[in-house]
Structure 1
Amino acid sequence: MDTAQILINLLLFVFLPLWGIAGFIDWCCHRATDIEHTSGLKESLMHSVMGIQVGIPILMCLLYRVNVLVLLICFAAWLLHEVVAHWDVSYATGKRHISICEMHAHSYLATLPLYMLALIAVVNWPVVVDLVTLNWQGQMQLTPMEYPHGGSWFLPAYLTFMAVLCVFPYLEENIRCLRSSLKGL
């Protein structure tokens, strides 16, 4: 197994699952602090936005060949995720208790996307060179991956894993917060 494949396996089988687990732990912390009656729907929606901001580049890297366009989208999504993450914590601070456990989950939720982006850059170093030297010709389209990373079973398994650990719980959080805000009207 070559170094690139080892790094891809680290992304697929360590970092991607850890990101989902950290998201689930964060959701558990929100539930424990009664988010629907403290910081409410606004914060809950920020959590969903951050999940989408990281989910889109993950899906793009799993479905398409990494080129300049995909890297630009990944970098932009990471920067936007960081902005919303800072906004989220500053909004929630003082409205509800943020436990040590939640702070640790936030550490993973903030650093794992950066680590994943760094590994994607290392594995696709010639594309990074093209990006910084503005050699973008022929690299601004989405080209489906011929052979999916992790084999044909990985993407359906990963999407199921993320639906159970993150999508459904955060959807439930949004619904809970929406119901609570509607009761307050």
Structure 2
Amino acid sequence: MQEKKPETATKNPKKANLLDHHSIKHILDESVSEIVTSRGYVEDVRMSNIRLVMGTIIIIIALLAQFYKKKFPENRNFLIGCIVLYIVFNGLLQLIIYTKEKNAILFTYPPAGSFTSTGLVVSSKLPRFSDMYTLSIASADPKSISANQPVQFTKSVTQWFTKDGVLVEGLFWKDVEALVEEYAREPKKSK
């Protein structure tokens, strides 16, 4: 089943500053998310919610330390406790980002009506001072029996952008959809 890309994409072309690698990566990552979700995958926002809750806790700790009723010599132990909690929660947040997210731009649930029980983790890399964009698709639960082998491609971003910095969405959609189909394909069973 082939999904059509949205009509709005042709009316408002996505334009990037070709001298800014973050701008290029942002537009490509945003497009990848659109493509994968248009293929029936629903975004799993649990990891984002965990990060938001952790960030909120960190901000509350900082605000408590800043606006505590007593002045410095009297609130010394409270401040030390807040500093320790601040460091612990920041460390946990960084650990989650480093171990779980890595370069992930999208986590998904399995598509509705699918036989697989795992969603996708879509990751991308665009190293600084390089034009080579790497897109990877893997299972959200690689140890699951229904997890397929991870797939990836590495291509130059110059083939997807015009000299004015406009993303040629048709070419990019074709490459990303081919990668999603390659991941979703049933692995050949050996006899």
TM-score (norm 2): 0.29
Higher relative contact order (CA 8 A, sep 6+): 1
Higher strand share: 2
Q: Going by fraction, where is helix more abundant, 1 or 2?
A: 1
In our comparison, the structure showing a higher alpha carbon Rg is 2
TM-score (norm: length of structure 1): 0.30
